[in-house]
Structure 1
Amino acid sequence: MWRRRALVLTTLLLAAFGLGGVATAAESNGGTRIMPLGASITDGFTVPGGYRISLWRTLANAGHLVDFVGSQRSSGPADLPDHDHEGHSGWRIDEVDANADAWVRAAAPRTVLIHLGTNDVVQDHDVPGAPARMGALVDHIRAAAPGADVFVSSLIPLGDPVLEARAASFNAALPDVVRARGARVHFVDMHSALTTADLADGIHPTRAGYDKMAARWAAALAAVPGSAGDDGAPVTLPAGHRSLRVTTPGFTDRYVRHQNALGRTDHVDAGSPALLKADATWRVVPGLAGGCHSLESRNFPGHYLRHQNSRVRISADDGTALMRADATWCGRSAPTGVRLSAWNLPGSYLRHVNSELWLATPGGSSAWDTAANLVPDLGWSLDAPWTP
């Protein structure tokens, strides 16, 4: 397991420092699938990653587990953990539409974000017909992913007055185009989010401009429940002695244990030593902080699983408010089993990395926050105890 985790971590660190080349699909984390769809602004021209940088982190910091999807995987900065997208520089609406069915069926997005039409305007390609082309594109996306929410944004401001006038006519028609396509299609007023002062070259945003786009996208997603997923439903953990099993595929024979006071995972089976079985057994008790749950060591009564400077370990209950908060965990539903969220740091979860236990924050900048395998590594199963 260490070798596999080390390889993942090394790959991500290389990418973060610009040494790993183009990002790969391995960084997808299994969260709610969101497809950023468009042209160079979606790709991130002038600022690699574009609005996707701030949007990913905004959603992650709000507790959403998201997975950007698409056939494109542009290289980008360390603060963009997930580089997948469907932005094609220089493409018009009709060119994107010719490929959208295949892209959407392959990626199966839960949500699609569309900022598209700038190249129709710049190329003066039948601008009066552009709204109808957008409508056709949305129809094809909806047919390929009928359960998806589709967000269609107006074009951002353009520096050239002639281009801005063309864009204005296109933008004016979009609300009606969106409204005609039902409750799962949503209009986003992106034009009012920026000014020409937010443009780097008269067409593409600066980093500050992309951040404003991200904020407008995030607000739109927040207004449509489920479009960015959620943090799972509250789960009441079963009381009494339990063993916490890893649910990451390929590692489901490993359990949470303590060793030299540090939390880790190890393979446990019927033939394992008695000490290992006891180390891998916990008593689920009411949360020391006053709610949710705490996990007391089976063979060190009075010692509890806690996080401290992001590392997870066992500590004796010294009666302090900090220790008791650090040792309290709240169960949330997960795709496999249950996710354990820190009582005092909502949106941060118990995770295993390189056989070690850490408190991971989706969207965080630390090595243990990396997007690769994030969702599987956050899931746990509360099984029968190895030591009753």
Structure 2
Amino acid sequence: MRLSDGKTTSGLIVGERGIFNTHRRQQHRRTALLYRKSIATCILLLSMLTPATTVAQVVRIMPLGDSITYDNCRGDNRPIGDRISYRYTLHNLLKAAGYAFDFVGSENSGSNYLSAEMDDNAGFPGITDAQLAVLIATGYSQRSNRQITPGPYLETYPADIILLHIGTNYVDPSPDDVEDILGNIRASDPNVVIFVAHIIDRYPHSEVTTTFNDNVEAMVTARADSRIMMVDMEKGAGIDYSTDMADDLHPNHLGYDKMARLWFEHLEVFFSPYGAKDPRPGNGSYQWPAAFKGFRWSMPAPRHPNDVVTCDVHIGTDPNALKKIAANKPIDSLSSEAFPIIPDTLYYWRVDCHDPNAGSPVLTEGRVWTFHTCDPVPRVDAGKNQSWMVGPAMRMTATVTDEGDPNAVLYYLWSVESAPGDAPDVVFDDRTIQNPLVSFAAPGEYILRLSVSDDGPVENQASKDVGSDTVIITVQPPTHPRR
């Protein structure tokens, strides 16, 4: 990090173990404003410890928790290599952002998607918060009755950052066991940064879960440890508990994706406290031109409280030739008049921040964000795989999301992807609605596909302009009552 006039920094953060080199990177949606103050305090403490150098440091991140961290739902028969939890999406976000990191822990899952080094985690299916406290202190798992490490867990698997999501199993209102976990972590490492999640809710809603989360947050606040921050997974990740859950406790891929993005946003604040964040339009998002109201972003706090951070805003369609539309302004938004947008275009934009730094100015160059005005195809989830029976009709349970023209009409078409060879035709009461009634006349496995267009009837569209998804229905023979 260079702090003299005219020099720039890409947001290096100095810690006790060296430099976390953030380089140039992208950011994904949603805000981490709620906990920025505590994170900024943490960063300030870290940055005061060591003189700046230019050596990059691999940051060890430990995903710590239960089956939600490992990825194990009820009746799960997937290969261990397919169990990726939020870790795969988080890995991809961190990698795309240019961070040097490594997932650490004694357990392994997700190797069909993650490399051998990156499938490490500390997710222990079925473990309670009380049992995890013991494991952290002694290395012994009461849940599986095995000695995982010879002594305290973090002595064998040290970490720079811990992502803690624990309390789902046998949840009760008390935060005491989570406090024991934090105390045992601190006994092993007084400096590791810990992100503590409000655990995700159950489906249907569990008031005990919300009470537990509130009590954990109060406990964390009372500890006054600047290296422990809360992350609101229950309500802040945007999980739709009616569609984003694999069962009553565990997310499906949609829920895990949202968890990953919220973890990432908090890690972004940790890694780079001096750059602009929280872009609107969101990074990688679709923006309907007619509804475009302008640009917004969050400005960082200055290094010194009496300074005012200003910014330059650059935008264009060529990432290598962006136009500066604002220079050295103390602003966090621009109206749509500053740069009108047109349909069917990919835009790049960047916000650079000037920090006076008490007379030693620093320019932090922002990451390049993107958004597009190309109408996206609808996102389709044909519903959960399920069993049914010959005879009675079943109602499909598909969900469809269209981020495009808010006035667009959606066109639906159900089709049969595969069916038992000698089975009669599947009967739909209406193939052109989102959730028709469907009946089957023969047992076996059926794969049904829902295709959706927002630009006219599905059969008239190219495949690239149609969103689709399949669902497997396993049909059982009819049951006959005993005589």
Which TM-score band applies after superposition, normalised by the shorter structure?
Answer: 0.3 to 0.5
Larger Rg: 2
Q: Which has the higher contact order (CA 8 A, sep 6+)?
A: 1
Point out the structure with the larger helix share: 1
Q: TM-score, normalised by structure 2?
A: 0.38
